Structure 1
Amino acid sequence: MDLNTLTQFLAVARLEHLSRAADELHVAQPSLSRTIARLEKELGTPLFDRGGRLRLNHAGRLFRGYVERSLGELDAGRRAVAEATSQGFGTVRLASETFLTLTGPLTAYKRAHPTIEIELHQMPAGQMARHLRAQDIDLCAASQPVHAEDLETAHLLDEEVWLAAPPDHPLANRTSVTIRDLADQPFVTARKGHWQRQLLDRLFAAEHLTPKIVCEGDESSAMADLINAGLGLGLVPAIARRTMTRGSTTVAPVAWITVDAPGCRRTLTLHWRADARLSSAAELMRTTLTTWDWTTGEPKS
């Protein structure tokens, strides 16, 4: 098997669809089918179940893990050589569920190291471990646990999560509310898998309730406008509240209310592979993030 075969296998394994994988790889589907068949013959076992829709089977999932790690190591070697021969300039690849929290340290990093390229990958926390293993990313910042062995972590931030309400909402004059107070209220929130949605579902489940969701999406920057328009309430972390109330006339005003519920907080954690060598660019990014003062929005003195 060669690198091209392994790269094509990963594309088919990720998409579980031959024609879409062929389009992505810019190869003919019959050629891709033959490549996968030759790989299965060489390994002596099918890697996919073909009853109806193409599905990666147990052997395929097992093999995918080894291929991802192998190609990741090869790519890491290429990057290490490139870094060594370009006077230390390189690229850092950072993944996060949202980058709103990270704009301050990212700005500071780019100003301090203008020759380093920054690749940002937005993804759910559930996908981060696989991309770290494959070395598709160097670091990831997550507000949910990232389950994987051989990861090192650094605590970045722990903050209160507030309830944001339209200024004319019946709850707007309250200083605090319970989850029971919110049982029939509409919510504007993120899609399933995002930390805000996970927190909302967890808080309601603790009271044996289900939140009434009227809007879910990926545009966290639009949340204040949607809440102000009266579509619903929302859970917003303290750092986002500071951003939304920094005197900008473009941000819709909302009322801020404390949620009287255990665990209505957000913890942001940085993760990286313990067994992988970080590039100089990634080490600088790790230092920037772990020494950032999230309260003042400046590097720690």
Structure 2
Amino acid sequence: MTDFEELRQLVAFQRFGTLSAAADELHITQPTMTRAMRRLEREVGVPLFDRSAKNRLALTPAGELAAEEAKKLLEAYAVFLEKIRNEVNLHNKIVVASVAPGPLCFLEHIAESNADWRKAITIHGELINPDTALDELVQRKSTMVITDREIDDPRVDSLYLGKEFLGVAIDNFTPIAQRSSVTFADLAGLSFAVVHDIGPWKGLVEAHIPNAQFLYQQDLAALEQISRYSTFPFFYSNLTRRLRLTDERFMTHTRTPIAIDDPANRIDFYATFLHSNRRVTLPIQQHLAQHWPQAA
């Protein structure tokens, strides 16, 4: 029976065009690959290679089709392996991922005061693309994904958590710091110190604050230092305002927190999980929804 190694070699030949180049890529010898391709032809029962040209080997139409189908089989096998391995990794663990940082920060804060949650929940720190949220669950990479849209799929539950909205910390000596609220348009032309990955908020603030500059920072410690020793405004939200890291950015007392009263200032979040994981994830969704901060 044909094994996957022979299929990998066939796909490599299609990609690189010669046995020597494909063998070099796979770190095997050319004679080893020649023998494998002959075994594959015997197994399939039809010629896969055209040997009519002197010193040149090419795929027949059947060989081209076999290489394309082999590629699909290898991709499906890779998904199979990943799903099985992820299932083992998720055993006795609840892995939570999110499309935005705020809900993860809030969940981490809640988990700190709950010993059972602290042991059971693993937070996936790197944000995921909203378009891959369903795959994240189906491939068993995460037990629950916090999404910015309700996912309509018969395999999952997608339950409402609450909304996140931004506030802005403005230098005390900036005129708008005297106001109780601002709109995004009022922040036009300012430069903001921002954490590097803010998920869907990135497109939203860039679209709604005209002529603004966003100084994205990878290092949170560097961001805290920028906030402490500069006058750049920064964003916080109803999910992050009471967290220690946010409090530290206000410690110099040089910023005034201002509400952003703007119809665009809202992202709704949902806890999405497979039906099969409902028993372990529903209590988390219910607790988050009940304690979701309503004010920043």
Where does residue 124 of structure 1 map in the other structure? 128
Deviates more, 1:185-194 or 1:216-225: 216-225
Where does residue 197 of structure 1 map in the other structure? 202
SS in 2 for 1:112: helix
User: Number of residue pairs matched?
Assistant: 246
Where does residue 268 of structure 1 map in the other structure? 269
Where does residue 13 of structure 1 map in the other structure? none
- 1:168, 1:156 → 2: CA distance? 37
Alignment map for 1:170-249 (pairs within 5 Å): 170-191=175-196, 194-204=199-209, 209-213=210-214, 215-219=215-219, 223=223, 225-243=225-243
Q: Measured at CA, do residues 113 and 2 of structure 1 come closer, stay the same or move farther in structure 2, by a change above 3 Å?
A: farther
Letter of the 1:95 counterpart: A
Letter of the 2:186 counterpart: D
What percent identity do the matched residue pairs reach?
14
Alignment map for 1:49-128 (pairs within 5 Å): 64=75, 66-67=76-77, 70-75=80-85, 78=88, 90-96=92-98, 97-98=100-101, 99-109=104-114, 111-112=115-116, 116=120, 118=122, 120-126=124-130, 127-128=132-133
In structure 2, list runs of 5 or more residues that go unmatched.
9-23, 41-62
Q: 8 Å contact 2:228–2:249 — kept in the other structure?
A: no
Which of 275, 290, 294 is equivalent to 2:291?
294
Which of 30, 46, 49 is equivalent to 2:26?
30
Deviation at residue 133 of structure 1 after TM alignment:
2.8
Q: Measured at CA, do residues 244 and 169 of structure 1 come closer, stay the same or move farther in structure 2, by a change above 3 Å?
A: farther
Letter of the 1:291 counterpart: H
- 2:28, 2:234 → 1: CA distance? 46
Q: Measured at CA, do residues 216 and 200 of structure 1 come closer, stay the same or move farther in structure 2, by a change above 3 Å?
A: same
Q: 8 Å contact 1:167–1:228 — kept in the other structure?
A: no
- 1:159, 1:263 → 2: CA distance? 11
- CA-to-aligned-CA distance 1:9-55 (integer Å, 9 cap, x gap): xxxxxxxxxxxxxxxxxxx95249999x989x79723489xxxxxxx
Greater gyration radius: 2
SS in 2 for 1:272: strand
Letter of the 1:70 counterpart: F
Deviation at residue 77 of structure 1 after TM alignment:
5.9
Deviation at residue 168 of structure 1 after TM alignment:
3.0
Where does residue 140 of structure 2 map in the other structure? 135
Deviation at residue 157 of structure 1 after TM alignment:
2.4
Deviation at residue 179 of structure 1 after TM alignment:
2.5
Letter of the 1:235 counterpart: F
SS in 1 for 2:272: strand
Letter of the 1:226 counterpart: I
- 1:71, 1:245 → 2: CA distance? 39
Higher helix share: 2
- 1:177, 1:257 → 2: CA distance? 7
Q: 8 Å contact 1:188–1:223 — kept in the other structure?
A: yes
- 2:134, 2:172 → 1: CA distance? 40
Letter of the 2:66 counterpart: G
- 2:226, 2:5 → 1: CA distance? 47
Letter of the 1:102 counterpart: L
Question: What is the alpha-carbon root mean square deviation over aligned residues?
Answer: 4.6
Where does residue 67 of structure 2 map in the other structure? 45
Where does residue 255 of structure 1 map in the other structure? 256
TM-score (normalised: structure 2) = 0.62
- 1:284, 1:108 → 2: CA distance? 18
Where does residue 17 of structure 2 map in the other structure? none
- 2:170, 2:26 → 1: CA distance? 55
Deviation at residue 185 of structure 1 after TM alignment:
0.8
- 2:187, 2:144 → 1: CA distance? 37
Deviation at residue 262 of structure 1 after TM alignment:
0.7
Q: 8 Å contact 1:179–1:259 — kept in the other structure?
A: yes
Letter of the 1:172 counterpart: A
TM-score (normalised: structure 1) = 0.61
Q: Measured at CA, do residues 108 and 68 of structure 1 come closer, stay the same or move farther in structure 2, by a change above 3 Å?
A: farther
Where does residue 18 of structure 1 map in the other structure? none
